Amino acid sequence: MRPEVAGAALVPTQRPADTPLFAGRPSRILIVEDDPASADFVVQGLGAAGLDAETCGDGRLGLELAAQGDFDLWILDRMLPGLDGLALLGRLRAQGMRTPAIMLSSLGTVDDKVTGLTAGADDYLAKPFSIAELRARIAALLRRAERGAAELSATRLTVGDLEIDLLSRSVSRAGRAVPLVAREFHLLEYLARHAGEVVTRTMMLEHVWNCRFDPGSNVVDVHIGRLRRKLEEGMAPILHTVRGAGYRLSVEG
C-alpha cells in the first residue's frame, strides 16, 4: 500500500484500479492552492483518475479563472494570498455561479466547517486528507450536479408519493391536491430539489427569501410548520426536522 501525502501528513490509502470513478466524464477541475507541493500532489492524484486539473496559487487569480465558467468543480484552499478562500467563494456565489466547490483547510473544527459551508462550499475537507477520499467526494458532487441539471430541465418533481408540477405550480400527495401559496410552493420546490439532503435555515433564507442569515428570525420555521401541516395531514411524515442542522424532505426519517 502506497502512502499518499495530504497536507504535511502521510495518509495510507488504496483504491482498486478496476473501479474508475470518472469513466466517460471529461471533467475539468480548478485547484486554488498556494502550496506547490500540495497542488502538484492533488493534480497527480486527480490525473490518475482521468480528471483534467488546472492550478493557481493566488486567490485573486483563482477568482478570475473560476469566473470564466470553464470548470466543472473548484477545489479551494481556505488560506490563500491575495484573497482567502472564503471571500473568493463568496464573490463567485454572489455572481450567481453554482459550480460545485470543495474547500480544503487545516482548520477542521465543526465551526470551521460550518463557516466554509455557509460561505457557499458544497463540501469541506480538513487536512490531512486522503486523495482517494477527495476523489470520492468529487465524484459525489459531479453526480449531484448532473442530477441537478436534469431536474432543472424537468417539469415535474417527485418525492415518494409527493408530486410537484412546475408548469402548473400544483402539488399533490397520493393523488390529493395540496393547495400552497406562492412562498410555500417556492420553499417546497427548493426542498424537493435537495430531496434526501439536510437543508439549513441559512440555505432556505438565501435561496427562497433571497436574504442573509438573521439569527433572530423564525420565518423559516413558521413556513416549515405551515408546509408540514398541509403535506402531512392524515399522512405519513415527509418533512423531517434534523435537530441542530435544518430540515430534510424524504419518505424516510
Domains of the chain and any CATH numbers: 3-147 (3.40.50.2300), 154-249 (1.10.10.10)
Q: How far apart are CA 29 and CA 70, in angstroms?
A: 9
What residues have CB less than 8 Å from 124, skipping those under 6 apart?
Answer: 102, 103, 105, 112, 113, 116, 117
> In percent, how much of the chain has pLDDT > 90?
53
Q: Taking a C-beta distance cutoff of 8 angstroms, is the pair 20, 136 a contact?
A: no
pLDDT tens figures, 198-214: 998 888 888 888 775 55
pLDDT tens figures, 95-119: 888 899 999 999 988 889 989 998 8
Entry pTM: 0.55
> Is the pLDDT confidence value at 150 over 70?
no
Q: How far apart are CA 14 and CA 12, in angstroms?
A: 7
pLDDT tens figures, 59-79: 999 999 998 878 999 999 999
Cis peptide before 128 (omega within 30 of 0): yes
Q: How many CB atoms lie within 10 A of CB 69?
A: 10
